[in-house]
Structure 1
């Protein structure tokens, strides 16, 4: 009986080998045959700058008509802005952070969108443009987008160390925060948005004569949004009473089929770009500048507090089919 038992065990073992009965090998083959499910997905979010349904571009041949309350025609002199806190909204209504791909135009959770190309009145700018933000998010279905217009006070570097962003020195940080044209020295930070125009009829002050600075005729009307009333030093850190970070939410956004549009005409809908009433020519986020309230309202900001407006919804950013 013992010999029969041994022979039976051996026979069964040989049968299993002959039939490929190695359990671990079978499990391995089964696992290898299963589809690989990615835990993240790549994103590329397109942005455009438009006015009255047409793309906004530099150059005299691309003058933009019907801007503002007086329907002025103007050339673009600059059009750049920073985006941060970028999130996509999933089907559950949850806002999920986008991990940005580091390059010359995006890092530290901040991206610089650049629509000027150094032609025409934009000659002081850069030839390269940047109009799409790339990165990754957890794999899911996304139906909306959130972001802030501007640069937060702090962020993290590649190794997770907390660093100053808005108030960092442009000589001590890398792209996209090292750009001199976006530095705002007098407010100790960055210009969050730099929109500059050259109206064909010039800029006239309240008295009806060309507005002048150092006896030179001013041809530009500008919108510079950034944090104000800032104090501090590199050693002690900085603080601002008015953050002026506009938080934007756009629902019903399908990334593969739609573009986020910056609407210049909507921004200027309640402004006269041919007149400077007081202070800086246009608006440099000054609390008493008469040009600023209408522009801040268009961004959904309260000029007095620098927070989101309790009564006004932003009108500058919208969604458009590609």
Structure 2
């Protein structure tokens, strides 16, 4: 009964990252602007890939899944943060905290495996172009994407179940703008060492294994590109892969910094800043990176705009 009183009868308090000083009001407005760009950009990417038949390929199907994950990720944290800031309320219920943990952990895990799948797709396309339609057919591509979602969800279920099994006491103030697991553990009345080890093992599976797949895929791709006889072929291969590698570097670097450090080395300020990067900035940058550096996406976008202008002229 004591545990129930500790855990279920009190909300958590999200301390957030902004005060009401002029500088922080400007930064909050900037975050809302980034959220708007990310929201519109990822929706546009999903719709563009769905509407343009020429983009109905494994590469762009996987890219649409990445945009969908980014869209869900940014909607998991920013709306609640904005509501708390504007309303002056900082509380979040246990159920709301658990939902945030499940969603963002699941989405982060799913993106890890999806980025590895995208690297494998580029490996097959460049190193085995004649067998591409067999090795990356619609069924296999769909299975890989579904596996990414499922594995990410399993990670989310495990972490939320264990995190909420702890008893929490004291002020119950989370030094973050959302229910991040490492920040939540600082409020635990019990020793979180076992859970920290579990997180570390999950990180090895969810981060290091996909990184190994990505590294192996691009090592083979680099060798294949070096041996290409055509300069145009090299440029096209590097242009296709550079966008993905840029996203991988941003995403995995931030995730490893957050989840693969011991609690003793953590700084709440550092964790919040890095979390802003991978939960808010990265979802905005991903569609921009893929659209600005991809001629086919740019062509499809101009095609859709052209149809829109034609329809207006007819009307």
TM-score (normalizing by structure 2)? 0.31
Higher share of residues assigned helix: 2
TM-score (normalizing by structure 1)? 0.30
**Structure of greater relative contact order (alpha carbons < 8 Å, 6+ residues apart):** 2
